[in-house]
Amino acid sequence: MTKFLTNHLNEIIYSIILLIILIIIRTIIVITVKKIGKKSGTTEARAGLIGRYLTVILVLVALLIEAFILGVEPEQVSLVFSSVFAVIGVGLFAIWSILSNVTSGFIMFFSFPYRVGDKIRIHDKDYPVEAIIEDIRAFQIHLREDNGDLVTYPNNLLLQKAVTLLQKDALDDSSIL
């Protein structure tokens, strides 16, 4: 056991340093995402979801760095990643709509001009919607129409349609309720 530790001391030290850096960066990311979420008025659950997405990306980068720390050759890493991405690419092509909604939800978290409680009109020629935003989720947005119906609208379509803000924070207006 001591022979193993002495032979691989540098790799162990570098791995511990990488783990510490990973924890620090993740903490900074989570705090930053929560601050952005509070500033933009999104729910804490939504900020947590975005934080998890970014943590997964960070872990994948850390695994790549760890492979180099342990002495894996770049050719071997590129072979593994190209094979994995080919399989993932075929799978994601089959579910591109879901991936599109998740990506749109990610974009909406950082730059969507409307908040929960705002009354909006979506200018869709097939199904126009005029409703209050109840929740913004990873795949869809929940809208409550004046008659009480709940409409779930896909995030990717919402970014493609013209949207008009009718009333800011309509949930707090007693005339709506």
Q: Residue 66 — φ and ψ, nearest 5°?
A: -65, -35
Pairing of strands 129-136, 140-145: antiparallel
Instruction: Evaluate whether 138 touches 99 at the Cβ level (below 8 Å).
Output: no
**CA of 107: how far to CAs of 81, 139, 150, 173, in Å?**
26, 12, 23, 28
Output the tens digit of pLDDT for each of the chain's 177 residues: 777 777 778 888 999 999 999 999 999 988 888 888 888 777 777 778 788 888 888 998 898 888 888 888 888 877 887 888 788 777 767 677 777 888 888 888 777 788 888 899 999 888 889 999 998 887 888 999 999 999 999 888 888 888 898 887 765 544 444
pTM across the whole model: 0.54
Number of Cβ within 10 Å of residue 49's Cβ equals 20
Pairing of strands 119-123, 150-154: unpaired
Quote the CA–CA distance of 91 and 84 in Å, as a whole number.
11
Strand ranges (DSSP E) for the chain?
119-123, 129-136, 140-145, 150-154, 162-167
CA 100 to mean position of chain CA atoms: 11
Q: Residue 173 — φ and ψ, nearest 5°?
A: -85, 120
Mutual orientation of helices 96-111 and 9-40 as an angle, nearest 10°? 70
